[in-house]
Amino acid sequence: MNRIEQAFQQLNKENKKAFVPYIMAGDGGLENLPERLALLEKFGATAIEVGVPFSDPVADGPTIQRAGIRALQNGTSLKGIIKEITKARESVTIPIILMTYLNPVYSYGIETFVRDVQTAGVAGCIIPDLPVDEEAIIAPLLEQAEVELIRLVTLTTPIERIREISNKGKGFLYTVTVKGITGTRNEFGNELHSFLQAVKEVSPIPVLAGFGISSQEQIKEITKYCDGVVVGSKIVEYFANNQLEEMEEFMTIYKQTFA
């Protein structure tokens, strides 16, 4: 059983929801990645999404784009990230999910990439610019390596398409909560709750909501309709400003609400 499946199985036993923070690898120095992953686990993360900086991040909002630029300026590479994740695996036990665009994977070499992430103990990959209809270039290799391909659906994805996509994986379904890029939001559209409910009804795997979630109040409301949240820009900001105490307090929502 994949680490992601194990994590959700444990959450179900404890009647909890998932909290998955996103971190940009290399922002603040790539050598700090293992320490930051361990800190997020200590603060209660269910799993951690590790972003790979890319020059043309079409899905990322301003906060994550700036973090990616800083990481690239620090000389961060995909190979270096995988090396640091390998080191982190000595102490970090929760699932690590690598978020990368397709171009870095092509440049790395698809077969070599899959082999190396498997060796590093990566539990899953998110490739937002990989269309589901074209995922055969890597999905079978990831499946053989027991690395989950985490697929995304949006507010505009037809429900039958969501049913089809959610039946492909064993990890979780990443449900994008906004029509647009990542970044903190003050509020979400009224359609989100009914959309999440509809997705939950057809998906055989856990449903997580992500993009724009930045407050404990939003987390409390959104997780009434799904299995957990992915929080990106807010966590990136905390690390960038060295607000570790504030981040720990923010992440107590995991313990306060879902215990």
Q: What is the 3-state secondary structure (H, E, C) of 124-178?
A: EEECCCCCHHHHHHCHHHHHHCCCEEECEECCCCCHHHHHHHHCCCCCCEEEECC
Distance CA 9, CA 29 (A): 34
Sheet with 124-126, strands from edge to edge, namely 148-150, 124-126, 96-99, 48-51, 18-24, 228-231, 207-210, 173-176, 152-153
Considering Cα of 236, then 242, then 245, then 246, what sign does the dihedral take? negative
Q: Could you read off the pLDDT of 68-104 as tens digits, one per residue?
A: 999 999 999 999 999 999 999 999 999 999 999 999 9
Per-residue confidence (pLDDT) for residue 95, from 0 to 100: 98
Alpha helices by DSSP H, listed for the chain, are 3-14, 33-42, 62-73, 78-88, 102-108, 110-120, 139-144, 159-166, 191-202, 216-222, 233-240, 244-251, 253-258
Per-residue confidence (pLDDT) for residue 183, from 0 to 100: 43
pTM above 0.85, yes or no: yes
Per-residue confidence (pLDDT) for residue 259, from 0 to 100: 43
Point out the residues that are catalytic. 49, 60
Per-residue confidence (pLDDT) for residue 62, from 0 to 100: 85
The encoded tokens of residue 9 equal 């199985």
Q: Could you read off the pLDDT of 171-229 as tens digits, one per residue?
A: 999 999 876 444 444 556 678 899 999 999 999 999 999 988 989 999 999 999 999 99
Q: Catalogue all structural domains in the chain, each as residue range(s) with its CATH number.
A: 3-9+18-254 (3.20.20.70)
Q: How far apart are the first and last CA of the chain?
A: 24
Cβ atoms 21, 48 nearer than 8 A: yes
The pair phi, psi for residue 21, each rounded to 5°, is: -80, 150
Per-residue confidence (pLDDT) for residue 189, from 0 to 100: 60
Q: Could you read off the pLDDT of 141-161 as tens digits, one per residue?
A: 999 999 999 999 999 999 999
Coil, helix or strand at residue 90: coil
Considering Cα of 67, then 113, then 56, then 131, what sign does the dihedral take? negative
Give the least confident one: 100-104, 133-137, 237-241, 251-255: 251-255
DSSP state of 53: P
Q: Which residue has the tokens 């992500």?
A: 210
* Mean residue pLDDT across the chain: 91
Looking only at the bridges linking them, the beta strands covering 152-153 and 173-176 are parallel
Distance CA 107, CA 79 (A): 11
- Buried b or exposed e, range 94-117, using 16+ CB within 10 angstroms: bbbbbbbbbebbeebeeeebbebb
Per-residue confidence (pLDDT) for residue 60, from 0 to 100: 73
